[in-house]
Structure formats: C-alpha cells, structure tokens
Amino acid sequence: MASFTATSLSMIALASPSLVPSARISSPNSVSLSIKGRNFPSISLQPTGRRFQVTCAAKQETVQKVCDIVKKQLALPEGSSVTGESKFAALGADSLDTVEIVMGLEEEFGISVEEESAQSITTVQEAADMIDKLLQSKC
C-alpha cells in the first residue's frame, strides 16, 4: 500500500501503536512515511478529479500546433515569440489572415468552425481552447 489519502492516514493512526507508521505531513499533498525507523520517500498525493485524456490532444500540444500555424500564416521570422497569450492582431494579422488561420486550423484538426466562433478568437489560447472543445465533442 504505497499510496494513502489523507483520510486513510488518520484511520491508521488509531490502530495498533506498534504498527503505526509515524508520518510527517510537510505539505497537504506530500507525506513522508517512516515505518519502524525506515524512511520511505515522500509521496505526492494526486489531486482528485484529474482526467487523463488519452485519446484527445493534450492542451499544450494544441497550443503549440496553433502557434505553428499562426507563425506560418503570418510568415513570422524564426525565433519569433508566439505563445498562448499572443493576440493575432498584435502579431500583425488582419481579417484575411485570421480567416486563413481558421481554415488552417480546420484542416489541421479536422474540425469545422462556426462563423460566430471564428470571430471571437483573438488569441492563440482562445483558438486552442475552441479546438479542444470541438475535439472533445468528437471523442
């Protein structure tokens, strides 16, 4: 039993004293155990509710792909900084660039973007969020 939740740790504390591992809780998510003088490495508690998306694209990868498409559309020089926060307009995109970017995203991700959504995208992150949302609905 290598993993404990906070509740099960408190239950063990009530059991037989000789077998109780003495634990020091240094932070809410990390616990170091010592049982009979032997130290166990500290264990990080996983935050509850985390979903592993195995089949859908992870968010960071989406952001990266969007950055690549934007860089290509706007012919930005190598080494240009494009991140999630980057606004298309601040990178020099006009309306024609924006619709071409949307077309590029549709092709890359196999999605279809509504006109209303297309207009509301102003940053790389917004585009990535929209894509992930559309992709989730397909999974």
Partner 1 sequence: MSSLLDKARLMMNIHCLGRNLVTVSSSLHHVQLPAQKEAHFWYVLPDEIKDTNLLNQYFEILSPSEKESVFRMSGERLKKRAILARALVRTTLARYQINCQIDPKALKFKKNSYGKPEVDLQYTEDWNLPQLHFNISHTSSLIACGVTVGSPIGIDVEEKQRRLKNDVLAFARRYFSPDEIEMLTQIADPELRRLELIKLWTMKEAYVKAVGKGFSNSPFNTFTVRLGDHLKTSVDLRPRVMSKAHEITVEPPDDSKNISGNWQFVLLELYGSHYAAICIEQESTNRGKRSIPVNLMLRKTIPFVEDECIFGTDKAVVIGGLTTLLEC
Active-site residue numbers? Answer: 94
Report the interhelical angle of 59-73 vs 95-109 (nearest 10°).
Answer: 130
Judged by beta carbon, residue 62 or residue 73, the one nearer partner 1 is 73
Q: Of 20, 90, 110, 138, which one interacts with partner 1 (CB under 8 A)? A: 90
Q: Which 107-126 residues touch partner 1, going by CB under 8 A?
A: 114-116, 118-120
37 in Cβ contact with 76 (< 8 Å): no
Q: Which residue has the tokens 């494009």?
A: 82
105 in Cβ contact with 111 (< 8 Å): yes
Closest separation between CB of residue 136 and partner 1, Å?
23
For position 9 contacting partner 1 by CB under 8 A, the verdict is no
Q: Of 100, 108, 126, 129, which one interacts with partner 1 (CB under 8 A)? A: 100
Instruction: Pull the structure tokens for residue 36.
Output: 């009979």
